[in-house]
Amino acid sequence: MLSISNLNKSFGKLKVLQGININIFEGDICAILGPNGSGKTTLIKTILGLVIPDFGSIKLNDKEIINTWSYRSDISYLPQITNFPSNLTVVEIIDLIKTIRPNTKMDKELIDLFNIKKSMNKKLVDLSGGTKQKVNIILTFMSDSPIIILDEPTAGLDPISLIKLKTLIIKEKEKGKTIIVTSHIMSFIEEISNDIFFLLDGSIFFNGTITDLKERTNENSLESAIANLLKQSHV
Amino acid sequence: MYKILRYSFYDLIRSKWCYIYFSFYLILSSVLLFLNNSLAKSIITLMNIIVILTPLIGSIFGAMYYYSSKEFAELLLAQPIKRNTVFLGQYIGLSLSLSASLVVGLAIPFIAYGMLISSEITNFISVIIIGVVLTFIFTAISYYIALSNEDKIKGIGLAILFWLLMAVIYDGFFLICLLALKEYPLENFSLFSVLLNPIDLSRILIILKLDIAALLGYTGAVFQGFFGKKIGMLIIASVLAFWIIIPIIMINIKSKKRDF
């Protein structure tokens, strides 16, 4: 479904992505992991067309997508930090995204799920960090796109909302959607995803299932397996 | 693009800065009318303030708005729309909201003073149009500067520097050139130099319109003598249009190449 080959990107002298090759199939839930600065966000932004790669190709359903834009109607994206325009209300921001994206029918259901009906007419600047993240999640999940990309979706969420988010992700998975997620919370990754791409200094250091990783590192938990992987990389 | 424009406009028109800017013009024009006690004189004073102030405000807001809405722009860029739609929408929304504060803030006191039934109405409208045009020009330039500079301080600094260059330094430099080259015929040189500065151009346009070209001394006289009033104004208006179009094209090109 999504195939990335020989993707390279540098910012000045800093090589952020070096020869990335990834194949993601329909219905996969894959996690992109790696230490800070390993290139996770850049990789995601390249898929979304926010960062233009130096060379390499990204194909969605066998069509090259670099420097095009209409394919983005197939991708929902939850960014890491969102500072919304301060003087708009929650209703207005949802309306704006609804007018831009096709198939946005889920909004009412999600507003009920995350219990933000009371905040609908509040200005975005007056919302707490957690509520902002909930709005962000609603904006992402309200459209029915085959691919969902989540960059640190758990940031600022309380435990109840976190459980709701997990249920939401699992529901979308059951619908056969492809989900790409980055997070530093390993228990979250372990619960929702099956495939792992471990990035290190802009290259893929490990690619496989969570079970593969645990077997390779002889560890029981994903957290220690990742720590072990990092140790190996320094040897 | 219209959708983005509309929401940027809504966002900005409700911000406190917009109200402060509006109140400033409201107070300024009331005070001018009170002190001058004449529509014609107030309009001339207003012109002198507007040709300096609207570019400054446009420069500061253009850069600041880009940086403060950067993360939201990223969210919009991940939607199925073209890149230039996002940036042009934001730019036009910002310029329109600044222009709205300017127009409404100035118009209320002048209308209350009885401008609508006086002969000064066309002159007042030309001053307002120049204010709006300068807002669009300097907002576009500073938006472009911000788009080209990742660093916020550097971007805002450069935008203000550009304003300083056009509003203050340029005239000084122009004078020095005229003095240094006074042995030579300078008509063409001065005409050409004026075209390169939108603030000078706007000033000349209003002065030609108000029929007080003598006030401007050398350049005004040359301009009026060279082109005559009507053609002179037409040329200035088209050059000012270029001053808006070129930065917009530059914003377009830059937004296509940049990483976010």
- DSSP-derived pairing of the beta strands A178-182 and A29-33: parallel
Band the pLDDT of A204: cuts 50, 70, 90. Answer: confident
- DSSP-derived pairing of the beta strands A75-78 and A147-151: parallel
Task: State how far the Cα of B101 lies from the Cα of B237, in Å rounded to an integer.
Answer: 23
Conformational region of residue B132, where left means phi above 0, alpha means psi within -120 to 50, and beta covers everything else: alpha
Q: What is the pLDDT of residues B100-119, one digit of tens each?
A: 999 999 999 998 888 788 88
Q: How far is B177 from chain A (nearest CA, A)?
A: 41
Q: Is the pLDDT of residue A233 over 80?
A: no
Band the pLDDT of B63: cuts 50, 70, 90. Answer: very high
Q: Is the pLDDT of residue B27 over 90?
A: yes
- pLDDT attached to residue A208: 86
DSSP assignment of A135-170 equals HHHHHHHTB--SEEEEESTTTT--HHHHHHHHHHHH
- pLDDT attached to residue B96: 94
- pLDDT attached to residue B213: 61
- Other beta carbons within 10 Å of B68: 14
Band the pLDDT of B66: cuts 50, 70, 90. Answer: very high
Mean per-residue pLDDT over chain A, rounded:
87
Contacts of B77 in chain A (CB under 8 A): 48-50
Instruction: Return the residue matching tokens 């209350």.
Output: B112
- Among partner residues B81, B83, B259, which is closest to A51 by beta-carbon distance? B259
Band the pLDDT of B44: cuts 50, 70, 90. Answer: confident
DSSP assignment of A75-120 equals EEEE-S-----TTSBHHHHHHHHHHHSS-B--HHHHHHHTT-GGGT
Mean pLDDT of A46-66: 89
* Paired tokens of A39: 């290139």
Conformational region of residue B150, where left means phi above 0, alpha means psi within -120 to 50, and beta covers everything else: alpha
Band the pLDDT of B171: cuts 50, 70, 90. Answer: confident
The dihedral formed by the CA atoms of B95, B73, B157 and B205, expressed in degrees to the nearest 10 = -20
Residue A123 identity (one-letter amino acid)? K
- pLDDT attached to residue B216: 61
Band the pLDDT of B220: cuts 50, 70, 90. Answer: low
Partner-chain contact B79 A96, CB within 8 Å: no
Interface pTM, i.e. ipTM = 0.84
Mean pLDDT of A117-125: 88
Q: What is the pLDDT of residues A71-93, one digit of tens each?
A: 888 899 998 877 788 888 999 98
- Among partner residues A11, A77, A83, which is closest to B78 by beta-carbon distance? A77
Q: Is the pLDDT of residue B217 over 70?
A: no
Band the pLDDT of B223: cuts 50, 70, 90. Answer: low
- Please report, rounded to a whole number, the percentage of residues in chain B having pLDDT higher than 70: 93
Contacts of A69 in chain B (CB under 8 A): 80-83
Q: Is the pLDDT of residue B187 over 70?
A: yes
Are residues A54 and A8 in contact, defined by beta-carbon separation less than 8 angstroms? yes
Are residues A29 and A12 in contact, defined by beta-carbon separation less than 8 angstroms? no
DSSP A123: B
Band the pLDDT of B244: cuts 50, 70, 90. Answer: very high
Are residues A198 and A207 in contact, defined by beta-carbon separation less than 8 angstroms? yes
- pLDDT attached to residue B38: 85
* Paired tokens of A18: 């070096």
Band the pLDDT of B93: cuts 50, 70, 90. Answer: very high
Residues 6+ apart with CB under 8 A from B140: B62, B91, B95, B244, B247, B248, B251
Task: State how far the Cα of B228 lies from the Cα of A223, in Å rounded to an integer.
Answer: 80
- pLDDT attached to residue B242: 93
Task: State how far the Cα of A202 lies from the Cα of B159, in Å rounded to an integer.
Answer: 35
- Any CB–CB contact under 8 A between B16 and chain A? no
Q: Is the pLDDT of residue B230 over 80?
A: no
DSSP assignment of B11-47 equals HHHTSHHHHHHHHHHHHHHHHHHHHH-SHHHHHHHHH
Size of interface A-B (CB pairs under 8 A): 75
Give the SS3 label for residue A51: coil
* Chain B interface, best mutation among A9, A14, A50, by max B CB count within 10 A: A50
Domains and CATH numbers, chain A: 2-234 (3.40.50.300)
Q: Is the pLDDT of residue A234 over 80?
A: no
Q: Is the pLDDT of residue B222 over 80?
A: no
- pLDDT attached to residue B227: 64
- Among partner residues B7, B72, B81, which is closest to A69 by beta-carbon distance? B81
- pLDDT attached to residue B215: 63
Mean per-residue pLDDT over chain B, rounded:
87
- pLDDT attached to residue B228: 67
Partner-chain contact A77 B75, CB within 8 Å: yes
Residues 6+ apart with CB under 8 A from B260: A45, A50, A51, B70, B73, B74, B77
Q: Is the pLDDT of residue B219 over 80?
A: no
Partner-chain contact A72 B78, CB within 8 Å: yes
- pLDDT attached to residue B140: 96
- Any CB–CB contact under 8 A between B72 and chain A? yes
Task: State how far the Cα of B191 lies from the Cα of B226, in Å rounded to an integer.
Answer: 9
Mean pLDDT of A187-203: 86
- pLDDT attached to residue A235: 59
Task: State how far the Cα of A55 lies from the Cα of B231, in Å rounded to an integer.
Answer: 52
Mean pLDDT of A99-118: 85
Task: State how far the Cα of B239 lies from the Cα of A70, in Å rounded to an integer.
Answer: 36
* Chain A interface, best mutation among B19, B67, B75, B83, by max A CB count within 10 A: B75
Instruction: Return the residue matching tokens 């957690």.
Output: A130
